[in-house]
Structures are given as structure tokens and as C-alpha cells.
Amino acid sequence: MPFNITLDRFLNESVTEYAAILDSAQGPKVTTHQDSFSKLLEKEDQKTKLSTELISTIPLLPKLNEKAFEPTFNLLLHSLDVLASESSLSYESDLLPKVIAEIAKYQELSNVTVISSISVLSNIFNILPPSSTLRIEIIELTLSIIKKYKLHELVEPLSKHLSIWLHNANATEAQTNKIIIQAADLLYLENQEASLATFESLIKESKAVSADDQTNYFVKLVNSKLPYKDISNLHLKLNNATLTELLNLYSNLEVPAYSAFVKKTDLSKFNIDAETLSTKLNYASITKLAANKTQITYKEVSETFGLPLSEVESYLIRCIGAKLVSGRLSQEKQIFYIHQVSKLDAVTKKDWESINESLTAWKSKITELTELIEVLATKKNKRAGHPAVLQAFHQQKQELKEQQQQDREEKLQQQQAAAAAAAAASATPSSVTA
């Protein structure tokens, strides 16, 4: 059964009901708060003391039934609001700051009460005018509760409005940067793409983002499951010479140099997953190498990516399977003839996840084929070539050809349908009004 409290009432009624709820939670015959509050209500000059007594009960509210917590807290807020209107006290500047300070003292709360606490803070936030600086304090407290109780799913809807809220509340640039970065950090655990976009927007708009915060963004970017992204327009300034060197390698897609860099640098001390970044750079770099070209040699791929010549064909087959590039391999001429190159900025998170899945599948197939070749070579006591690999590639090539043919047929059908519709429209006689 829902717990309902009617707020349209006078101060005496509101305070009396609030006191009764507190007492009933302590026992059926307890009247401590009712007796105390009734004495203060009888005297007009005791309004300030009454407000202090009411606020002092806030630590007791989490002990109430979970369903009773929020409506009872709202009854308290209503009582304080009415009390302020009947005295010289200011609801916004005298009472609400004390209420927020008491909420900030809450320690261990149940899941329901935590959500209710955030809801109460939201109610207070909406009561306040947009220009109130108290809104800044509420935002900071809300984010700290979200972090403490790991309620990361609540950050995204909040983060969408932070900039305008903070601007309206006249937050300083330092306050704004601190809060938005805190939100972006929490958001990363729930939505990497939205988190990084929040960082990027702030870095572009503010010149006061610290080197530490820019470094934090860069580490999150390279560790993310998102595709490679060109960030040269951000002009990042990092707090470490080693990371600055890595940033340059990343920005320029310098794969061989990156491989040499990793051999002499322990990236784990910067919380960077070197393997994740290596994969990201390797498969992003093929689009850079193949851009605006009709063909590339196996030797060129080998030298660019530091791959043994014998592994180039397998690498290119994985790239084709991942739809980063399409084309035709010539094992005889050691040339890859390029048909199409994917644009990295057109690759979405969903596409990148699909690419990762495809690459994993291709890697598994290549491993199986290699094992089979080794078995056959052992049985025949001679080195096997690459018939199985070529067979897999030609099968993929045939599937690609069939898909392209299907696309052309669908496009032709659409054009024919459009032409027929246009012809029918021109043959219809126009109506004439007498």
C-alpha cells in the first residue's frame, strides 16, 4: 500500500503529523517529538528554535520504513517552507543549506533509501531558482552519492544538463570543470562514448582543463572499446613526457614506432592496456595506408606494420573480413588490389564491436588452418603451402561478390519503380474546376 501524505495544510498540522510519524517509528506509545514540537508551536517567538529542532531530526529519517522515507522528508521540507513564510527566516538561505548538510552526513543507506535521497535532493533542486548557488552544492552531493553507491546509470541523464545548470547558477570555471570531469569519470563506467564526448566538449570549450584531467581523458580514450579516433584538434597537453610521446604516435598512427616504444616502455604503470591500443592502431592504420590508393604491396604492409612477410596475407584477410577494406589479393604478385576503404569517422561503436568479433573469429580460423597445415606437413613430411587460407579467402571473395550483385539489383529495382511511378503520375489527367 502506498504511503501518502497531504501537504496542503497549515504549519501546526504539518509539524504535528511529522512528529507523529517519527514517534510511531520508535514505538506505539512514544510521544517525544509530539510533546516537544507542540510546546514550540504554542509560542510565536520559538520559530527559529522549531526550525532547528526539525532539521535535527533528519538523521532519524533513514530509520523509517523505506516507503515512508521520501514522503516524510517531503513533509519536513513543506513544514520548513511554511515555517519560513511565517517568520523572518529564509527558506533558501537559512534552512535548505542546513538540510543539505544533514543529507551529506548520511552514511550507509539501503538501495531504496539512496534513490529516495537523490529524489529529495532533486526536489530541493527544482524548488530553487536557476540562479541559486545552492544548486551547485546539490549537484556535487548528488554525484558523490552516485559514486559512493555505484549508481552509474543515473549519471547520463544528469550529465546532459550540467553545463547549462552550472552556467545559470554562476559557477566559476574551476567549479564547472571539476563537476563535469567528475560526471564524465562516472559516466565512463556506464557509457564510454558519452563520457569521452563530455571530456572532449569541455577540453574544446575551456582553456583551464588541467594537464592531469587531459591525461585522464587520453588514458580512457586509448583503453576504451571504441574505434580509433583522430584527436589532433584537441591539442592535448599531458602531464608526462612518456605519455606525450605515446600521444604523438597515436595521433600519427605510427605502428612500427609504437611497437618499438612498447618494447621499452611499461604502459601498465599508466593503467594503459598496450595490447588493446596495439589492436586499435593496427586496424586503424590499414585505412590510412590504403587511402587514395588502388593497390599496395605485401612488402609495403610488412614494412609499415612491422609484420613478417609471411603473415601479411593473413593480416589483410582479417582486415577484409572485418570490412575495414575490400579488394583482391594476388599471392603471385604479392599485391593487394584495393576496391574500397572504410572511413574511420564513419565507423560507429556498434561497427567496431562487430569488427572485433570478426577479427576474433578470423584469428580463430587462421589458428585452426595453421594447425591443420602443420599436421598435413608432418604427415607428408614436407612443407605445405596456403591452399586452405586461399580457399577461405576465395569463399569470402565470392560472398562479397554476391552481396555486391544483390545490392546492384536492388538499386536497379528501386530506379525502375521510381521511373514507373513518375510515368504514372504524368499520365494522370489534372482536374479542371468549372
Domain ranges for the chain, please list them: 1-164, 293-416
Number of CB atoms found within 10 A of residue 88's CB: 8
For the entire predicted model, the pTM comes to 0.70
| Nearest-5° Cα angle at 16, 14 to 19 | 110
Number of CB atoms found within 10 A of residue 79's CB: 25
Number of CB atoms found within 10 A of residue 343's CB: 8
Number of CB atoms found within 10 A of residue 427's CB: 7
For the chain, the first-to-last Cα distance in angstroms comes to: 70
Per-residue pLDDT of the chain (434 residues; tens, 9 = 90+): 344 444 446 889 999 999 999 999 988 889 999 999 999 998 888 999 999 999 999 999 999 988 899 999 999 999 999 999 989 999 999 999 999 999 999 988 888 899 999 999 999 999 999 999 999 999 999 999 999 999 999 999 999 999 999 999 999 999 999 999 999 999 999 999 999 999 999 999 999 999 999 999 999 999 998 888 889 899 999 999 999 999 999 998 888 889 899 999 999 999 999 988 988 888 788 888 888 899 999 999 888 887 889 989 988 998 888 778 899 999 999 999 999 988 765 445 555 555 556 556 655 666 666 666 666 666 665 544 445 555 555 666 666 667 777 777 777 777 777 776 666 665 544 443 33
CB of 181 closer than 8 Å to CB of 200: no
d(CA 236, CA 256): 23
Distances (CA, A) of 200 to 214, 278, 293, 319: 9, 23, 32, 29
d(CA 286, CA 324): 8
Rg of the Cα trace of the chain?
33
Among the residues of 27-110, which ranges form H helices? Answer: 32-41, 47-56, 66-85, 96-104
| CATH fold label, 293-416 | Arc Repressor Mutant, subunit A (1.10.10)
Q: Give the position of cell 521510381.
A: 418
- The residues near 311 (Cβ < 8 Å, ≥ 6 apart) are none
Three cell numbers written together for 42: 504554542
β-partners of residue 337 are 295, 328
Distances (CA, A) of 142 to 96, 101, 188: 15, 12, 17
CB of 309 closer than 8 Å to CB of 302: yes
Q: Give the largest CA-CA distance in the chain.
A: 106
